[in-house]
A and B are shown apart, each in its own frame.
Chain A
């Protein structure tokens, strides 16, 4: 086994060194080390897979496939990127393969309304949760309708909060490609929103939201 190298980019998790130890131990045959890796990442991978399949049981089967593949391929992990991005790459590939296999069933991004966060803020009007739920449903429907490469980059950026560098590492594409895909994806999202629900279109009024904070 080649020695694990230092990650080439800035995704520095607090658990980086522990990951390397666990990976080395798992490769040597330690079941508990592999179990620790699984426990560390299963929730995040499950959340990602949940963007591609709506049935939780189906998602969990997919999650198991992902980690079985990780187990089989762990010795090929070279440590050139963070383990997390390597794992995400396997998960994204599994999810897109799953989508293409199941495309005839017109799978959507997860659409179970009970999975929505419908909690109300104390100062919100009673009808606010319904509006939020409707907004979320429309948004997911539109994201679902995007071509896979645009959908994936949007999911990784907006839902999973990955940086451009991390997205580039997961999808194994250039940073410039990440930016252009993201730009086109948002453009298509806005066009679809304008066509289907023009009343929901962002107005461009200045807000005190995010920006330049990462």
Chain B
């Protein structure tokens, strides 16, 4: 029988002691009734034991560690100096940001002014309706005089 992912995570929580008391009691009842679940729990416990066995012996830093550390700490700038340095660094960062923004804006302005950016075409001029009418009449007259062939009738494409 294949266990669901939920059951596998329950097994893990049980072995790691991460279930609350009620959930753990309920899970133990399931372990007693479901051999596959019990097998997975035992396997996980063995894996965990194997890992824990590799912890190795307790090691400690050398006895003079703290004294050496304090000597190194005394070489550090004082907290006030660090805070001042933080403030200065923050101010420098903001100055840099503002400067970069200014440079970018200036560059954009230069590009715009140099005409490298295609400007929008001026608005379409409105035609003089009287002139349009006169042109239509002129073309009609030419057609009537036979100087311009009449437009071919539109063909049906069936599409």
Contact = CB atoms under 8 A, between A and B. Distances in A.
24 contacts: A31-B70, A42-B60, A47-B59, A56-B59, A64-B72, A71-B76, A115-B57, A135-B54, A136-B56, A157-B16, A158-B48, A158-B52, A163-B16, A186-B12, A193-B50, A204-B42, A204-B43, A206-B42, A207-B46, A210-B48, A211-B14, A211-B41, A211-B45, A212-B28
A42 B61 contact: yes
Contacts of A193: 50
Given A203-B43, A212-B28, 16 more contacts: A27-B79, A29-B79, A35-B66, A56-B59, A60-B62, A68-B73, A71-B76, A72-B76, A72-B82, A110-B56, A117-B56, A135-B53, A158-B48, A202-B43, A209-B48, A210-B17
Contacts of A110: 56
Nearest to B68: A64
A51 to B, nearest CB: 9
A39 interface: yes
Nearest to B62: A60
A212 B17 CA distance: 4
Contact of A60 (B19, B51, B53, B65): B65
Nearest 6 Cβ contacts at the A-B interface? A214-B17, A202-B46, A204-B43, A139-B54, A158-B51, A136-B54
B138 interface: no
A62 to B, nearest CB: 10
Contacts of B59: 46-47, 50, 56, 115
Contacts of A38: 65-66, 69
Nearest to B21: A212
Interface residues of A, number: 59
B65 to A, nearest CB: 6
B39 interface: yes
A95 interface: no
B43 A132 contact: no
A177 B8 CA distance: 15
Nearest to A38: B66
Contacts of B44: 186
Interface residues of chain B: helix, strand, loop or mixed (majority): helix
Interface in A46-77: 46-47, 50, 56, 59-60, 63-64, 67-68, 71-72, 75
A163 B18 CA distance: 7
A189 B79 contact: no
Interface in A105-158: 110, 115-117, 132, 135-137, 139-140, 143, 154, 157-158
Contacts of B95: none
A75 B44 CA distance: 42
A9 interface: no
Contacts of B9: 179, 183
Contact of A143 (B24, B54, B58): B54
A183 B73 CA distance: 41
B73 A31 contact: yes
Contacts of A50: 56, 59
Contacts of B56: 50, 110, 115-117, 136, 140
A139 B18 CA distance: 24
A190 interface: yes
Interface string B10-34: 0011111111000010011000000
B49 interface: yes
